[in-house]
Amino acid sequence: MKTAVSLVAIGQTLLWGGLYYIFPALLLDWEQSYGWSRPEMTFALALAVIVSALFAPIAGAQIDRGRGVLLLTGSALLGSLLLPLLPFAENLTTFYLIWAAIGVAMAGCLYEPCFAFMVYYHGEQAKRSITLVTLAAGFASTICFPAANYLSDLIGVDQTVRVIAAVLVFIAVPALGIGSHLMKNGSTLCCTAEPTTLSKSTVIILKRPLFWFLAFGFSFMALNHGALLNHFLPLVRDRGLSAELSILAVSMIGPMQVAGRMVWMAFDKKLKLLQVTLACFLSLTLASIALWGSANWPVLIAAFVLLQGSAYGVVSIIKPLVAREVMGPGQLGKVTGLMAVPYLLCFALSPYAASLLWEEGGYDLVILASTTCCLLSMGCLITVIRKHRTETVSADPDKKPA
């Protein structure tokens, strides 16, 4: 089992770096190379994640049907083979089409399907395995940002993309494929798809108010994180940080995610899942407030990196676990896939929306909107906690609610 988790961790780390973080890492280089505006550029990543959101329920259904290994491996390979096509994009339309296709690959191989796959076969026992995977994958941005910038300066942006694609094909894809295969063979099937039709099971899930509050609670948080992460380099430079310190700051978000996950792993048995989630949402709110104050006190950027990184690092682990606790283990792949639709749509639109806000009122307006999203997330989650407590007591009056 340790070997399987280690291989999946390697695959996820490299895939996140190569299929997602490569975009913000090379954003400024692509702006100079292509000559397109920042809103036009960031819409490419938005399009990729939108496509990923649309394909997420399909990916979740494949996991429920026992095809998770094929889904993860095939999607990783698809994304790896699409990446080298980017240097051939001679116009914005082609650039968009390539990123849209990469979005299909994202839907089947990044955190959402991977964690759903792990929970499918291990139930609550997947908590530790997911944490270990994210401890490694939390360094994806730490590796990608400096490596991509160094290679871009050394061999150019086009060759950098090709090198990263080769790393994915020859290391990430085999690691994820072998690791997921070992994980499936070494486990007992924990969740089985209920004998309902695809449309019927979807309607049952969507009729539950808890699903919507839970989905939008995480989705508003995705708006916050996506906007601030993808605009972090130009945002902190706008606040007076040098290029070198900006790279250092963004590279530390990954280690802070790892630090948060290590604290979670040490205390997860003593803490209630929904209360931990609420604490993470509060931390993300405070992070946005710190970023607002960094205009006058640049040292607060360090506070932002600490609070944002550590809290979001935990959120990415507990999302499928919270879904299982609140919604139940049945049709878990479908539940997480449906939850991923608004979540990924918000994550997708956040860089583009932030670009538009930046054009209207600068990065102060972006930070204000991001803080508002945090407050909305907390409101949704508090509602989930209250409704879940009520449902738990109604189902079993002698049982203490979580």
Q: What is the pLDDT of residue 194?
A: 47
At 307-326, the pLDDT tens digits run 999 998 888 778 888 888 88
At 337-376, the pLDDT tens digits run 888 888 888 887 888 789 889 989 899 999 999 999 999 9
- Residue 93's pLDDT band, with cuts at 50, 70 and 90, is very high
Q: What is the pLDDT of residue 387?
A: 84
Average pLDDT for 193-207: 62
Of 250 and 393, the one with more pLDDT: 250
Percent of the chain with pLDDT over 90: 37
- Residue 192's pLDDT band, with cuts at 50, 70 and 90, is very low
pTM to 2 decimal places? 0.72
Average pLDDT for 92-116: 93
Distance between CA 320 and CA 130 in Å, rounded? 10
At 242-297, the pLDDT tens digits run 877 888 887 788 788 888 888 877 777 777 888 889 999 999 999 999 988 888 88
Nearest CA to 363 out of 295, 281, 285 is that of 295
How many helices (H) and strands (E) the chain has is answered by 18, 0
Average pLDDT for 22-51: 86
User: Mean pLDDT over all residues of the chain?
Assistant: 85
Of 241 and 170, the one with more pLDDT: 170
Expressed in angstroms, the distance from the first to the final Cα of the chain is 29
Burial tier of 269 (Cβ tally within 10 Å: 0-12, 13-18, 19+): exposed
Average pLDDT for 156-183: 95
